[in-house]
Structure 1
């Protein structure tokens, strides 16, 4: 796909999915501009690369985003805030992205999730939304904003819905302690239940899916795909596999639901986690048959390789 006409603007490029997508683009010699709040952090993550331009600033800066949007054919919307800061911030920044994309009728890549659907066994692209949490309602609103903009011919949108993700530079409080624990031979934590099947996606795989979808002719202005990644039999079994690759003995730590309720009295962040507890108490599965019809040759990174690459990244930190 690398050519003189594609120019990618990545927002949230030092975050989990944005980092993986930026690496994917750079592997294909694409021209990439990263808007980052911390240029030093980005330089440390990516090093000096001729196809990469780093701009320090904030996606809430409308003028700056429009200036960068005027140069872009594709905009990756990887902006995320802490749970307790989603309200208003996520809607406002998404509107900014839409307005920046409108300049060239650019394609917006949006990392969707499963919050829109509440507690349900299987999610297809046609499953009606039914949010049961504040954050689920916000996600529905963001997707409606993007869909409306695309239907008004303002931009195009590829919304890739993803389950929990992991991989290099995924440094959230759910995933990092597992890999650090495995490397140090310490207990590997999880929330609520570690004995039921759970769906996980390796971020470099998600990045490859975005890149492959970008190469296809987009027939609809608003395209939605689920990407299921892989279902592990249980988080405990997955953690045991990680420890085995790390060469340590697996031990486990489970945080019970009541803990988040109690801590939520004092901490907004913990209160938000408590509200989302159903995601870790039950198995929710994305069905991604539509994606594999569009990308029949796509193959996941083998789990042992993905684990080794992630452990290697953490060792390097």
Structure 2
């Protein structure tokens, strides 16, 4: 595989910048003194998260507004597609917004940076960049379709794409219902929750590390128009052991709470969100592993924040931003 070093100056448009990966990537860009435009629906939230910064521009709006996205994309060299919706809204929104991103990137042949996941592969493990798609869920099929849209756009020279596939991610401002309650509970000395099983190995990635990988790949710019990499992060021996580390760092006694699968099936009778979680139960019942040999060859000095430091940084963020 060949690469060319992309020329400065970069101009990054970050979508989903107040969410988990978008926040981490925007913070990385600001630390690198890059020019960043954030398209946000909640300006007040973005101002709380980022504060004033000389190279940051906030624009209030919605990525479903195709005209606005094209207007912002016209000045971008890179567009970070960190947009996400609650599971039950994926079918209605994710494909449409991804097509809007492609249209915005097409104006300057910008590079779309896309956080992938493992939903495309069902129970397949280990997963390499060449592993065939084998989704077993509706959301897995949607993720396959999103990657197909991006690949087709890149191969037709509409834009360039770098997809970085990630396992479960955690870190500052990761506010999903799998991760945030763990850190809040640890700080309060309450039982730390998890789903299905907490006694098997689980693969995790710290969002600031993934953000640095995205930035390094953007600088390197693979010569291939559609480039896919896995980032494996770290495998913890069990979520229960990982939670114990978190509680100890928080200065509280480790307590655990496990939600069984039957509970989500029962609640799914009344709640669309719970039905969607129940469908994805295999993710917490099995150890699924990404392999990232390709990325390690590409970036020999792959970033890795030591677990103890990463836990302390995340706890510090939750202490300071409890109600964000």
TM range, smaller chain: over 0.9
Pick the aligned partner of 2:300 from 293, 296, 299: 296
Give the C-alpha shift of residue 218 in structure 1.
1.4
Paired residue secondary structure (1:55): strand
User: What is the distance in 2 between the residues matched to 1:144 and 1:307?
Assistant: 35
- 1:111 has 2:153 as partner: no
User: What is the distance in 2 between the residues matched to 1:121 and 1:212?
Assistant: 27
Note the alpha carbon deviations across 1:245-283, whole angstroms, 9 max, x for none: 111100000000000000000000000000000000000
Partner of 1:276: 280
- 1:267 has 2:271 as partner: yes
Query: Which residues of structure 1 form unaligned runs of 5+?
Result: none
User: What is the distance in 1 between the residues matched to 2:8 and 2:307?
Assistant: 35
Partner of 1:93: 97
User: What is the distance in 2 between the residues matched to 1:184 and 1:5?
Assistant: 45
Distance 1:27 1:287, change over 3 A: same
Give the C-alpha shift of residue 298 in structure 1.
1.5
User: What is the distance in 2 between the residues matched to 1:164 and 1:298?
Assistant: 18
Note the alpha carbon deviations across 1:124-148, whole angstroms, 9 max, x for none: 0000000000000000000000000
The total of aligned residue pairs comes to 317
1:227-242 residue pairs with structure 2 within 5 A? 227-242=231-246
Q: CA RMSD in A?
A: 1.1
- 1:40 has 2:65 as partner: no
User: What is the distance in 1 between the residues matched to 2:112 and 2:303?
Assistant: 24
User: What is the distance in 2 between the residues matched to 1:299 and 1:51?
Assistant: 24
TM-score for the superposition, normalised by structure 1 = 0.99
Runs of at least 4 residues off by over 4 Å: 1-4
Paired residue secondary structure (1:96): helix
Query: Which residues of structure 2 form unaligned runs of 5+?
Result: none
User: What is the distance in 1 between the residues matched to 2:90 and 2:285?
Assistant: 23
Partner of 1:6: 10
Note the alpha carbon deviations across 1:4-34, whole angstroms, 9 max, x for none: 5210000000000000000000001000000
Note the alpha carbon deviations across 1:170-222, whole angstroms, 9 max, x for none: 01111011001111110000000000000000000000000011111411000
- Asked whether the equivalents of residues 213 and 303 of structure 2 are also in contact (C-alpha less than 8 Å), the reply is no
Paired residue secondary structure (2:248): helix
- Asked whether the equivalents of residues 168 and 203 of structure 2 are also in contact (C-alpha less than 8 Å), the reply is yes
Pick the aligned partner of 1:66 from 47, 66, 70: 70
Give the C-alpha shift of residue 3 in structure 1.
7.7
